């Protein structure tokens, strides 16, 4: 029997998330995926799942219950066994902005457009396309994988500068504005969510009046609004946009940035494309390469 994971209590938003659904942007569907992919990988690999298996992404305290069978459960990579019918509490995140709860076998919610994660704005994926509520029950897949322990190292260090590649709209910003991005001290705004992280700090002037041509967007792109406020696009970002892009966060640093809580410090440093590619290669070796 595969069993179920039941939501017994919810303190703040919690959804099902996985590795995402790439390749659907032409349908207007963003790639989605975990806000902090490294923590998803740590949680899943600790219970023998593929790193991107569907798990819970929680911003606060949770009470959960396993039914139908005992199960190995992992919270951000710390694994333990839960008996059939046992209720357990997951505390609110402490160091990071979110935490991930994985169960051996993964959450066997229906796959939609190649992914199981929740896209709330489209009521798509996860459990009925919405945040979870007490009483919801999620089916579990069959386990049997080999647990693996992964050391996060400095990948989630919230004090380390975030690496970016500059552009593609460099011509819309004067050198002083680019310098302000790279030397300024920013903090994470409480208005941030899975669509985008708003940053408080130096105003980034660009003189653009919003007449830019709408074009495809990507996660990590740093849009600069008419007010000069930078927004780093998250996993549920709009598929198109017209604000000028001053830089893009390299893929290896997506999680390091999104792990920061409201009020957390953010500084940027520019790297080359070759450096960004090498950082991603090392990142894949550490977190995403496994026996699965």
Domains of the chain: which residue ranges?
4-139, 162-288
Interatomic CA distance for residues 88 and 8, integer angstroms:
9
Helix (H/G/I), strand (E/B), else coil: 90: strand
pLDDT score, position 292: 44
Report the mean per-residue pLDDT for the chain: 93
pLDDT score, position 209: 57
pLDDT tens digits, residue range 218-245?
Answer: 999 999 998 999 999 999 999 998 889 9
- For residue 100, give the nearest of 157, 43, 37, 156 by alpha carbon: 43
Interatomic CA distance for residues 97 and 231, integer angstroms:
17
| CA distances (Å), origin 7, targets 11, 78, 174, 241, 264 | 11, 20, 51, 37, 30
pTM of the model: 0.93
Q: Decide if pLDDT at 100 tops 90.
A: yes
CB-based contact 54:17 (threshold 8 Å): yes
Fold entry, domain 162-288: Cyclophilin (2.40.100)
pLDDT tens digits, residue range 251-273?
Answer: 999 999 999 999 999 999 999 99
Helix (H/G/I), strand (E/B), else coil: 155: coil
Percentage helix, strand, coil for the chain under 3-state DSSP, each rounded to 5: 15, 30, 55
| CA distances (Å), origin 165, targets 98, 154, 201, 221, 237 | 26, 20, 20, 10, 19
């Amino acid at each position: 029997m595969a069993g179920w994971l039941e939501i017994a209590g919810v303190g703040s938003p919690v959804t099902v998330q996985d590795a995402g659904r790439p390749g659907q942007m032409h349908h207007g569907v963003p790639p989605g995926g975990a806000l902090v992919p490294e923590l998803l990988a740590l949680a899943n690999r600790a219970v023998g799942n593929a790193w991107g298996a569907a798990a819970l992404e929680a911003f606060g305290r949770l009470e959960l219950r396993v039914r139908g069978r005992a199960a190995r459960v992992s919270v951000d990579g710390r694994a333990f066994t839960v008996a059939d019918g046992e209720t357990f509490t997951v505390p609110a995140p402490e160091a990071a902005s979110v935490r991930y709860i994985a169960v051996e076998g993964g959450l066997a919610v229906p796959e939609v457009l190649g992914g199981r994660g929740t896209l709330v704005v489209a009521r798509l994926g996860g459990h009925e396309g919405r945040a979870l509520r007490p009483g919801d029950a999620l089916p579990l897949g069959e386990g049997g994988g080999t647990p693996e322990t992964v050391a996060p190292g400095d990948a989630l260090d919230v004090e380390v500068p975030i690496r970016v590649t500059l552009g593609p709209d460099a011509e819309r910003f004067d050198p002083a504005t680019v310098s302000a991005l790279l030397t300024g001290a920013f903090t994470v705004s409480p208005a941030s969510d899975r669509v985008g992280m708003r940053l408080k700090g130096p105003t980034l002037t660009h003189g653009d009046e919003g007449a830019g041509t709408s074009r495809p967007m990507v996660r990590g792109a740093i849009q600069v609004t008419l007010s000069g406020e930078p927004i780093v696009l998250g996993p549920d970002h709009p598929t198109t946009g017209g604000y000028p892009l001053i830089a893009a966060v390299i893929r290896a640093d997506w999680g390091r940035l999104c792990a920061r809580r409201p009020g957390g410090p953010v500084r940027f440093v520019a790297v080359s494309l070759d450096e960004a590619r090498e950082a991603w290669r090392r990142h894949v070796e550490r977190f995403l390469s496994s026996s699965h």
